[in-house]
C-alpha cells in the first residue's frame, strides 16, 4: 500500500513529465527537492546596481546535499532494472545519498571512499544508513576508476554521475529556480568537483528554454578549489588537495559537459583558495544565517572574487547586467563537516552558574 501525503513531493513526483520514468517505475523517494531559494540582501548590496542574489540551499535535502535529487532517480531506475546492489565512489555526499536511498529500496549499497578524506558527518551517514564502506588507499579519482571497472563485470549498478539518471534528477534544481523566479536567472554560480552538477543545471536550463518555460539561459560560473582545479588548469591534477574535501577531485567525469555549459552560456570556470572558501563559509553563516559545508561556500567565495578587481578573477561581476538575478547554489549542509570550523569554537566564555556573573561577562 502506498501512502500519499501533502508532503509527498519528491522530484519524481514534481517533475515526472520531464524525467525518464514510466507509470511502472518504482519510485524510491525521501521527498527530496523543493529546497528554499533564499534572497540574500547583503550579497545583493555587495553586487550593487540593483542586482539580486539568491541562495539555492541544497543542504536542506533529506541527506543534507543536492545528491538526493539524482539519487532518487538513479535508485528508482536501478530497482526498475532489477538491481540488488549499487556501488559508488564518493567524496562523501554521493555515498550518503546512495546509502539512504538504497536502504529505503532494501538493496545493498557499497561505497568506495578515499581513506581519511571524508568528513566525519558523511562517513557516519554511510554507516548509519547501512552501507558497506570500503576506504581505499587512493583518492576519489582512483575510487571512481575502480567503480567503473567493477560495474563492467559485476551485477552491481553504478550510481555515480556517469550514470545518466543522476544528472536527469539533478536538473530539477534548475526547473525549481525557473518556476520560483518566473524565468531563469541571469547568472548561476556553483561549485565544481566531478562536474556533474553544473552539467545537470545547464541541461535543465536548456530543456525549459526549449519548452518555452523560460525566456533565457543564465551565464554559468563554476568555481573549483585552487588545489583541485583540473578544468581551470586544463589538465588532470594527480594529487588534488583542498579543505573542501567534497570537491577534492582531479579528473572530473563530466569535464566535457561542464566545458560545454560554460562555453555555450558565455560563462567561466575559476578557482578559489581554501582561505577564500573558509572566509565565505563563515561570512554566509554569520551574515545570512546559512551554514554550508566548505565545498558549497566555493560559490559564495566565487561571487565575491568576481566582484574584486584585484583578485585575478576569470569573470568580472561588472559584466552582470543592471538588475541581474544571480543564483548561487550551496550544495551541502554545514553540519556535514563541523570539524572544519572547530577553531571558531574555542572562544567560549567560562562562567559560574550565576546570573550576576553572566550579566557582567556579556557586558549588561
Interface residues toward ligand AN7, by CB under 6 A: 65, 67, 90-94, 191-197, 246-247, 293, 295-296, 331-332
- Minimum Å gap between C-beta 118 and ligand AN7 is 9
CB nearer ligand AN7, residue 161 or residue 324: 161
CB nearer ligand AN7, residue 15 or residue 202: 202
Residue 346: partners with Cβ closer than 8 Å, 6 or more residues away: none
Q: Which three cell numbers stand for residue 244?
A: 573542501
CB nearer ligand AN7, residue 52 or residue 63: 63
- Minimum Å gap between C-beta 239 and ligand AN7 is 17
Contact between residue 99 and residue 113 where contact means Cβ atoms under 8 Å apart: no
- Minimum Å gap between C-beta 60 and ligand AN7 is 13
CB nearer ligand AN7, residue 51 or residue 246: 246
Q: Which three cell numbers stand for residue 311?
A: 583578485
- Minimum Å gap between C-beta 170 and ligand AN7 is 7
Q: Alpha-carbon Rg of the chain, whole angstroms?
A: 21
Question: CA–CA separation, 261 vs 23, rounded Å?
Answer: 32
- Minimum Å gap between C-beta 336 and ligand AN7 is 7
CB nearer ligand AN7, residue 27 or residue 113: 113
- Minimum Å gap between C-beta 100 and ligand AN7 is 13
CB nearer ligand AN7, residue 67 or residue 171: 67
Q: Which residues of 6-45 are buried (b: 16+ CB within 10 A; e: fewer)?
A: eeeebbbebbeebbebeeebebbbbbbbbbebbebeebbe
Amino acid at each position: 500500500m502506498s501512502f500519499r501525503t501533502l508532503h509527498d513531493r519528491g522530484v519524481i513526483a514534481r517533475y515526472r513529465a520531464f524525467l525518464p520514468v514510466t507509470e511502472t517505475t518504482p519510485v524510491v523517494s525521501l521527498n527530496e527537492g523543493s529546497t528554499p531559494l533564499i534572497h540574500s540582501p547583503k550579497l545583493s548590496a555587495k553586487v550593487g546596481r540593483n542586482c539580486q542574489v539568491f541562495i539555492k540551499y541544497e543542504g536542506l535535502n533529506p541527506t543534507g546535499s543536492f545528491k538526493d535529487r539524482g539519487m532518487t532517480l538513479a535508485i528508482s531506475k536501478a530497482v526498475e532494472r532489477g538491481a540488488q546492489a549499487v556501488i559508488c565512489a564518493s567524496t562523501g555526499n554521493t555515498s550518503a545519498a546512495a546509502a539512504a536511498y538504497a536502504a529505503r529500496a532494501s538493496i545493498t549499497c557499497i561505497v568506495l571512499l578515499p581513506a581519511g578524506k571524508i568528513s566525519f558527518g558523511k562517513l557516519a551517514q554511510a554507516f548509519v544508513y547501512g552501507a558497506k564502506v570500503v576506504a581505499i588507499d587512493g583518492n576519489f579519482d582512483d575510487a571512481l576508476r575502480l567503480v567503473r571497472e567493477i560495474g563492467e563485470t559485476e551485477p552491481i549498478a553504478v550510481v555515480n554521475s556517469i550514470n545518466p539518471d543522476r544528472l536527469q534528477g539533478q536538473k530539477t534544481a534548475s526547473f525549481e529556480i525557473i518556476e520560483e523566479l518566473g524565468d531563469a536567472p541571469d547568472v548561476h554560480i556553483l561549485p565544481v568537483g566531478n562536474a556533474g552538477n553544473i552539467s545537470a543545471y545547464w541541461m535543465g536550463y536548456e530543456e525549459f528554454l526549449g519548452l518555452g518555460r523560460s525566456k533565457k539561459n543564465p551565464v554559468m560560473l563554476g568555481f573549483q578549489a585552487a588545489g583541485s582545479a583540473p578544468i581551470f588548469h586544463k589538465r588532470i591534477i594527480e594529487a588534488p588537495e583542498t579543505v573542501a574535501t567534497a570537491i577534492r577531485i582531479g579528473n572530473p567525469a563530466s569535464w566535457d559537459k561542464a566545458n560545454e555549459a560554460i562555453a555555450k552560456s558565455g560563462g567561466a570556470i575559476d578557482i578559489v583558495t581554501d582561505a577564500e572558501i573558509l572566509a565565505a563559509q563563515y561570512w554566509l553563516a554569520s551574515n545570512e544565517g546559512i551554514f554550508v559545508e566548505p565545498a558549497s561556500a566555493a560559490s559564495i567565495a566565487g561571487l565575491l572574487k568576481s566582484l574584486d578587481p584585484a583578485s585575478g578573477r576569470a569573470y568580472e561581476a561588472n559584466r552582470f547586467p543592471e538588475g541581474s538575478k544571480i543564483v548561487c547554489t550551496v550544495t551541502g549542509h554545514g553540519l556535514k563537516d563541523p570539524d572544519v570550523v572547530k577553531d571558531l569554537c574555542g572562544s567560549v566564555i567560562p562562567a559560574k552558574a550565576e546570573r550576576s556573573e553572566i550579566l557582567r561577562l556579556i557586558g549588561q
